[in-house]
Structure 1
Amino acid sequence: MLKKDKEKVIDEVWTEDRIREFLDQLPPAGVNTDFHMLWKAYQGMRAEHFEIFLGLFKAQNRDVNATNNDDQSVLTIALEHSQSGDYVRILRDAGAQ
């Protein structure tokens, strides 16, 4: 029987330092760094933490409209998700188009 290699974390504490760790995300070869950071943050954070992340992200002059290899931004992808309303608002408030 295979053992899970990662335990599910519930109610993780999201300090600003923890949120900043997402700014150190290195993308796979050929993937836009800014898109990769945004995507990982979108996938891994609650909306309130994602909003803090975007403030830190923009303070580093990063591109909130960065795209993946299919020319999709995180906003474009989020618009396809039924539960992403808060994330869409946060992205748009940060200048995503």
Structure 2
Amino acid sequence: MKKDKQKIIDEVWTEDHVRSFLNFRPHDGSNEDFHILLKAYQSMRADDFALFLGMFTEQQRDVNAAGRDGRTVLAIVSEHRNGSAYADILKSAGAA
């Protein structure tokens, strides 16, 4: 069978697209701020994530929100081989 969608690489994100992540809601009862941050990290390039994080903190959301397992997005990102840029962005926004 042929794939019906092609993988898009290096898509240019508009500010509105980045901002749309602020509207994501968890479906599993997890912390909303944690869920939003994790989805943004998983979906965005570092530059887009930095833009998003500015919007996130403008709304006075919690960059240290934890998931159901008690880990923060910074803890998760810090375990990833290519996560250092994201970790630096999170730390500059007050994540500990």
Considering the TM-score relative to the shorter chain, is it more than 0.5? yes
Q: Smaller-chain TM-score range?
A: over 0.9
TM score, norm. by length of structure 2: 0.92
**Which structure 1 residue ranges, 5 or more long, are not aligned?**
none
Alignment of 1:3-18 (within 5 A): 4=3, 6-18=5-17
Which residue does 1:24 correspond to in 2? 23
Which residue does 1:50 correspond to in 2? 49
Question: Letter of the aligned partner of 2:43 in structure 1?
Answer: G
TM score, norm. by length of structure 1: 0.92
For 1:4 and 1:25, locate their aligned partners in 2 and report how far apart those are by CA, in whole Å: 27
Deviations 1:40-77 (A, max 9, x none): 00000000000000000000010000010000000001
Question: Letter of the aligned partner of 2:18 in structure 1?
Answer: I
Which residue does 2:90 correspond to in 1? 91
For 1:27 and 1:58, locate their aligned partners in 2 and report how far apart those are by CA, in whole Å: 19
Deviation at 1:6, TM superposition (A): 4.7
Tell me which stretches of 4 or more aligned residues in structure 1 moved more than 4 Å. Answer: 3-6
Percent identity (aligned): 56
RMSD after superposition: 1.3
For 2:61 and 2:11, locate their aligned partners in 1 and report how far apart those are by CA, in whole Å: 26
